[in-house]
Structure 1
Amino acid sequence: MAATMSRPKLVSQVVEQAPENDLTPGQLSLFENLVYAICREDAEVNQANAAFEQLKDRFFDFNEIRVSTSREVATCFEGCSEPRTRALRLISLLQDIFEAIFGFDLESIAKKGAKPAQKQLSRYKSVNDFTLAWIGHRVFGEQTIPVDSGMRRCAGRLGLVEAECAKDTEETRVALEGMVSKTKIDSFVGGLQMVAQKYCHEILPDCTNCTLTKACPESGKFLPPVPVKVAKPKASKKPR
C-alpha cells in the first residue's frame, strides 16, 4: 500500500497528468459547450475531442443531428463509453433547445450571467450536475469543477475525498472545489479523467501501469501479489 500523501500534493500529482490537447476556456460558445460536455463526461480528452469533431463532420448541422436516429448519432461516439446513451442525451438536448427557441443560438442566455443561465439550462432533461459545472467554469469562469462517475471513483480511491463523499456527485464536486485553485481546474479535470478512464476502472483497475499508483492508498488492494522466491533446499551429500 502506498504511503499516505497530503491532499495538496495529491492535487499537484493529478494536475501533472493533464493532457496537452485539452480545449481552452472561451474556445467554444455556450451551445457548443453543452454539446461538448456530453462528449466529455466519463471520457478522456482525446475521446471527447474526436466525438465532437465527428458530430460536426458527419452531419450538415446540429438540426440534422436532432432529427437523426440515435443509432446514426452513436457512430460519432465510438471509443467513448455508452455511445447510444450519449446519442440519446444529445438528441434530447437538441430537441429541448429547438422547441424552446427554434434554433441553437444561446448567446442571449449567456449574457444573463452564470446563475440565471444555469437555472434556465437546468430545465433541459439532458443537463446534469457535470454539464452545469462545466458551463460554470468554461463559459463563465467560475470556480466550479465538473465531476463525472469516473472522477468520483478515482477521487475516492486516491483519498482526495472520503469514501462516503465519493458516492455523491455534488458532495464530491463541492469538496474538490475547496482544494483546487481556479487556474488549475482545467488541468485537474483533464488529469483525473485520464487516470479514471485509462487506469482506474470500476472493475479490475490497472494499478500496475497507473501513473498515480505510488500516490494511491488503495493501489495495494488491486496490485498483483509479488511472487515470493522460495529457496531451493540444498542437495544432501551422498555418503561415501
Structure 2
Amino acid sequence: MTNRVEQILGRLANTYPNASTDLKYRTPFELLVAVILSAQSTDAQVNKITAKLFERYNTPEAMAALTPDELAEHIKGCGLFRNKSKFLVATSRLLVENYHGEIPQNRDELEKLPGVGRKTANVVLGVAFGHQTFPVDTHVQRLAHRLGLASGKTPEQVEKELCGKIPPELWQPCHHWLIQHGRKVCDARKPRCCQCPLVDLCPTAPKKEEISCTSF
C-alpha cells in the first residue's frame, strides 16, 4: 500500500469501526435473497419486505414451491419486483435440484444462478462465508473514483484496481467502510466535504477555502 492509501483506510476504519451489511439475514440463503432484492432498492426497504417474507419463505424449498406471480405479491415493495420474483423462484429451484438446498461457495456456480452477478456473488461469498472478496456497488465505485483509488469504467475494472492496492484481509472491511461513507458523507449529488475525514487526501475535493456542505 502507498502511504496515502494506508491513511485513507486507517481513517475509514476509525470512522466506521463497526461497519457491516445493513441487510438483515440469518442464513446464507436469506442473505442471497436480500442482496438480489436490494438492486434498485434501499436496504431499509428490503428489510421491511424480508421481515415478513422470511416468516414463511426462508428456505430454497419453500420459495421453490411458489410461482413467480405468487412471490411477486410478497416483494412488490421493491423495484423490478416482477423480474426479481422470476429470478428468485428459478434460483430456489436450481438450489433444490442441483445443490441439495445449499448455497454454493464457488463464484462460478453462484453466478450461474438467475439474478446473481459478480457483485451479488462477492457479497454472499464475503459476508456469509468469509471469503476475501471486494464487492463493488455504486457507492464503492463512486468513492474509488473520487478518492483516486481507481479509474475503471466498470465495476469489474474498479474491483481489480482496488484489489491491487489493498491487502486481501481488508477487502471486505473496506467494502463496508466505503459504503457507509458513501451513504453518510460522500453523497452522489451533494457530498458533505466539510464533514469528511478524508478531505485532505481526496484529489477531487474543493480547495479548503471553498469547502462547504453544498460542495460538488
Provide the rounded CA distance (Å) in 2 between the counterparts of 1:21 and 1:6: 21
Change in Cα spacing, 1:53 to 1:186, as seen in structure 2 (3 Å) is farther
Residue identity opposite 2:14 in structure 1: E
- Range with bigger deviation, 134-143 or 50-59: 50-59
- Per-residue CA deviations over 1:16-64 (Å, capped at 9, x if unaligned) read 33362636xxx85332231233366688xxx637733641335522536
Q: Which residue of 2 aligns with 1:15?
A: 13
- Greater helix content: 2
With structure 1 as the length reference, what TM-score do the two structures score?
Answer: 0.65
Identity within the alignment, %: 20
Contact 2:19–2:176 at 8 Å: present in 1 too? no
Query: What does 1:97-108 correspond to in 2, within 5 Å?
Result: 97-101=91-95, 106-107=101-102
**Are 2:179 and 1:193 equivalent residues in the alignment?**
yes
Partners of 1:42 and 1:208 lie apart in 2 by 29
**Given that residues 8 and 201 in structure 2 are in contact (C-alpha distance below 8 angstroms), is that contact kept between their aligned partners in structure 1?**
yes
The aligned length equals 199
Unaligned runs of 5+ residues in structure 1 are 76-82, 226-240
1:182 CA displacement: 3.7
Does the CA contact (< 8 Å) of 1:150 and 1:196 recur in 2?
A: yes
1:130 maps to which residue?
119
Name the aligned partner's letter for residue 97 of structure 1.
T
Q: Aligned ranges for residues 12-161 of structure 1 at < 5 Å?
A: 12-18=10-16, 20=18, 22=20, 28-38=26-36, 48=43, 51-52=46-47, 54-57=49-52, 60-62=56-58, 63=63, 67-69=70-72, 73-75=75-77, 83-85=78-80, 87-88=81-82, 90-101=84-95, 106-107=101-102, 110=104, 113-114=105-106, 118-161=107-150
Cross-structure match for 2:158: 172
Give the distance between the partners of 1:21 and 1:148, measured in 2 at CA. 16
The CA deviation at 1:5 is: 6.5
Q: Deviations over 1:71-128 (max 9, x none)?
A: x5243xxxxxxx413x446423312123425589632x53xx52xxx22221233111
Tell me if structure 1 keeps the 8 A contact 2:133–2:172.
Answer: no
The structure, 1 or 2, with the larger RCO (C-alpha pairs under 8 Å, 6+ apart) is 1
Higher Cα radius of gyration: 1
The structural deviation recorded for 1:224 is 4.0
